[in-house]
Each structure stands twice: as structure tokens, then as C-alpha cells.
Amino acid sequence: MAAGPGGGGCARRGRWGRGCPVRGLLSGALLLLASGLRRGAAELTDGNNEHLKREHSLTKPYQGVGSSSMPLWDFQGSTMLTSQYVRLTPDERSKEGSIWNRVPCFLKDWELHVHFKIHGAGKKNLHGDGFALWYTRERLMSGPVFGSKDNFHGLAIFLDTYPNDEATERVFPYISAMVNNGSLAYDHSKDGRWTELAGCTADLRNQNHDTFLAVRYSRGRLTVMTDVEDKNEWKNCIDVAGVRLPTGYFFGASAGTGDLSDNHDIISMKLFQLMVEHPPEEESIDWTKIEPSVSLLKSPKDNVDDPTGNFRSGPLTGWKVFLLLLCALLGIIVCAVVGAVVFQRRQERNKRFY
């Protein structure tokens, strides 16, 4: 859920953009409508709903830099640390690198802010492949999915910079989300189209300004936002409800290059705890045993392109249904009134003939 009044969750370094409080209020109202009045408005446990968790965060100057041991993070492959960034891959062919948090995350509601930079000498569509952010059971396992393991358990956010599917009408770079219980494989040749939950286009490569991504998971709702236009505000990319993820998984980031390459740099990853109340029946279950899943009204295969990257499912669906019903009702009333008037006129006309 979005931030509460005042918007602690709306602050990246105290500024989550003008759009957010409004959106927060709006989606808050919609969520109330949709998720029922059974729980009332109880939302935040305190006024400050955002707390940085240092054990899950990676910030400059990267503790333990220069030595191969960082107490909280492991890295592998082509990953290289400097005092200013963590380079997952250099701008060279066939590289794979990743960095993984060593501490499993037991927070039920969290928000991850990633400051990154993807850049290289490659011109338009001659660079790749992008990077992935992970919240998964597995860690430090290299593989074909942006330098990490396929058939993973958990959540992946892909920042795909190269369209492998020549037939795609999508504009790249393209951000997408995937939830997996180990049964699904990522189809690289289709840019993960068949397993994608939702996504958006974002011009995030070779920018001269800072680029950020935010991932929020709270009460089964997954939200991804970007700040890549140097406007100092978050823009919606993904908003999906009905996502179930366990606690006890690991945060990580990985990147891969193939025939085409780029520098994939992470400048920081900051994890914030969101203070959110859950109903007693949710509190009583063992969250580490939850199977990653998504309850979708439609199959991900029906994905249609949504270049605006706006809300696609979740509470808005209920709202739209409500509006449709309202329109239908108004339509019926108008028809009835018009019908009655016409009927009456005809009656009067008929009378004159008698």
C-alpha cells in the first residue's frame, strides 16, 4: 500500500515526488473500497512508516572494499568494487556478475530503493543485456537469467536493455516483474514475455543524471517505480495485487552481457521496512512457508503492451467495475425515462384518433 498521510513512504531522501501523496490517497481510498471495510482504516502502526535496514542495504563506500570480504554482501563473477560503485559487469562480452545480501530478510513489508547506472559505448540496440534485482531463496548461483539462476523461487525485476525478440513491438529498455515457484523458466529469446506479470518501458540507459528504481512489496501488492528522467519524482511502472512472497529470502542483483555489452553499476541498494498492520489470521501463519505465487484475473500470456506503465490490475479493477455498473445503471434509467415519455406521447396521439 502507498504511504499514509504525510507520506513517509513517499520520501526518497525526503522527496518521493509531488505525484505520490495524491496517488497514495487515491489508491488508499480505492484499496479501502476494494479490500473491504472489514478492517477499517487501520494502516500504519506509527507516524514514521519507513526505516532503513542497514543489514539489507548496500551503500558507499561499501564496507570492506579492497578486501574480498564484505560482511553483509557476497559477490561473484565479473563483479568489481570501487569506492563509488559496484560494477556487476564491465562493458565487455560474455560477462556475468552478481552481488547478494548474506542476511535473509524477515520483513513482511518492505521497499527497496536502487540507485544504478547502465552505460557503455554501444549505440542504439547494440548493447546488453541488462540486469536483474532479486528477492529469492537461491543466492550466488550463476546462470542464464541476467547472470543468475533460472527456475528460481521468489521475485525478479528485470531491467532488460536489449530486445532479443525481433518481432516485439515493445520499446526497450523494458522493465518487467516475474514471480516464480521454481517451475517457470525465463525465455531469454522472448525477453521473458510469457512469464511476465507486468512491465513498462523506461529510458534508463546512458543517462547523464542519476537513475533510480523502487520496488515496494506490502500486503501482497507489488509496486515498481522509476526515477530516470531527472525530474526528482517517482513514476509508476508496475502495480500488481495478489502477489504472495515468503519471508526469509535474499536480496541480490545480477547482470550479464553476451555478444553485446554494457557497464552495469549499482551505486546503492537501500531497504526500508514499512510499518504495516496485518489481520490476525495473517499474523498466525508461518510466513517462511509461503509458496511464491500470484493470483491473477487474467493469464500473464494475455499481456498487452501498456506504454504508459500505469495501473493495470489490483484495486483499480474493482473501481472500474463499479464505474461500469454505474454507467449501465444510468443508461437504464435514461432509457426508461425516454421510453416512458415516448409511450405517453403515443397514448395521447392514439386518444385523438378515437
Ligand X SMILES: *[C@@H]1O[C@H](CO)[C@@H](O)[C@H](O)[C@H]1NC(C)=O
**Shortest spacing between CB 166 and Ca ion, in angstroms:** 11
**Shortest spacing between CB 291 and ligand X, in angstroms:** 5
**Shortest spacing between CB 128 and Ca ion, in angstroms:** 7
Q: Is 295 in the site for ligand X (CB under 6 A)?
A: no
Bridge partners for 235 per DSSP? 226
Q: Is 291 in the site for ligand X (CB under 6 A)?
A: yes
Q: Is 299 in the site for ligand X (CB under 6 A)?
A: no
Residue 131 site contact among Ca ion, ligand X, none (CB < 5 to 8 Å, cut-off depends on kind): none
**Shortest spacing between CB 137 and ligand X, in angstroms:** 13
Q: Is 283 in the site for ligand X (CB under 6 A)?
A: no
The dihedrals phi and psi of 27, each to the nearest 5 degrees, come to -70, -30
Residue 305 site contact among ligand X, Ca ion, none (CB < 5 to 8 Å, cut-off depends on kind): none
The span from the CA of 141 to the CA of 156, in Å, is 14
Q: Which of 35, 142, 181, 317 binds ligand X (CB under 6 A)?
A: 181
Residue ranges that bind Ca ion, judged by CB under 5 A:
160, 162, 164, 191
Nearer to ligand X, 181 or 317 (CB): 181
Nearer to ligand X, 127 or 193 (CB): 193
Q: Where are the beta strands (DSSP E) in the chain?
A: 50-52, 73-77, 80-81, 86-89, 96-101, 110-119, 130-136, 153-160, 174-181, 198-201, 211-218, 221-227, 235-240, 243-244, 250-256, 263-274, 293-294
Q: Is 183 in the site for ligand X (CB under 6 A)?
A: yes
Residue 239 site contact among Ca ion, ligand X, none (CB < 5 to 8 Å, cut-off depends on kind): none
Nearer to Ca ion, 188 or 312 (CB): 188
Nearer to Ca ion, 220 or 300 (CB): 300
Amino acid at 134: W
**Shortest spacing between CB 256 and ligand X, in angstroms:** 25
∠ CA 239-206-203, nearest 5°, is 30
Q: Is 247 in the site for ligand X (CB under 6 A)?
A: no
The span from the CA of 151 to the CA of 260, in Å, is 24
What secondary structure does DSSP assign to 220-284, as a single string? TEEEEEEE-SSSSS-EEEEEE--EE--SSBEEEEEEE-SSS--EEEEEEEEEEEE-B---HHHHT
Which residues would be at the binding site for ligand X (CB under 6 A)?
181, 183, 291
